[in-house]
Homo-oligomer: A and B are copies of this chain.
Amino acid sequence: MSTHAAIAANASRAVPGYLVSAIAMTPAAGLPALQPRSAADPLAALGHAKVYDRDMTVFSEGDAAGSVFRVQSGMVRLHKMLPDGRRQIIGFLHAGDMMGLAFAAQYLYTAEAVTATTIQRIPRLELDVLLDAQPALARKLLSATTSELMAAQDQMVLLGRKTAAEKVASFLLRLCDRKGGDRTIDLPMGRSDIADHLGLTTETVSRTFTKLKSARLIRILVGGKLELLDHDALADLAGGF
């Protein structure tokens, strides 16, 4: 039983230390978490990568959890399902994001490829050894996961208290932030994925997009791309977060 522990607890720095997340690193506002393939990527040598086609399952809720995963390219969605099939998408993962970090006996959600995706599978024991050797890496992971937690709380506000238009506007702005403020964002996921992430139906998402188009706040481009024409107006609409 080799247990390596690392809690970054630092009261004086602006960028946090932290006890950190278990679940996964979700698109976090601003913070790019771990760079996909930074020159000095300590995780790069671990495990091995595999390509998943569109809609393939990486792991399912309840599977025995023996590995953690890192998205190298493409996009992944994480979801939970109610017994009758209603689905809630917990988050979308981009290149650099990790998942399956819960270290629970089973995975807590299902992970599927949204687009063709390359995913690095890292057996926990390997990560274990590396974390032991590199405390700095541990802090990076912790930091990224903290961001994910903040995102989870913002998502609770969104789901519990925002209108359809506010939800969609918030969602688009998050993707925009994630891209570093670029006005053009990728929307590789379908309307039903967006709906299940925002607690709406595909029809409502579609109607909301139409309204935003009519109001000249967004423009839909070919190839699943979208342009934010009026960032400020969208931010107004989103109403915080």
Chain A interface residues toward B at CB < 8 A? 1-23, 66, 80, 82-84, 86-88, 90, 101-105, 108-109, 123-125, 127-128, 131, 135, 138-139, 141-142, 145-146, 149-150, 152-157, 159-162, 196-199, 239-241
Check if B16 sits within 8 Å of A19, measured CB to CB: no
Contacts of A80 in B (CB 8 A): 153-154, 156-157, 241
Chain B positions within 8 Å of A7 at CB level: 4-7, 20, 131, 138, 141-142
Whether B90 contacts A156 by the Cβ 8 Å rule is: yes
Q: Which residues from B are CB-within-8-Å of A15?
A: 105
Complex: how many Å from CA A143 to CA B87?
A: 27
Q: Is B22 within 8 A of A149, CB to CB?
A: yes
A-B contacts, 28 listed (Cβ < 8 Å): A1-B12, A3-B8, A3-B17, A3-B139, A5-B6, A5-B135, A6-B6, A7-B7, A7-B20, A9-B124, A10-B124, A15-B105, A18-B101, A18-B102, A18-B103, A19-B20, A20-B142, A21-B145, A21-B149, A82-B241, A83-B239, A83-B240, A84-B239, A88-B156, A88-B161, A90-B156, A149-B149, A161-B196
B159 lies within 8 A of A10 (CB)? no
Q: Is B8 in contact with A145, judged by CB distance below 8 angstroms?
A: no
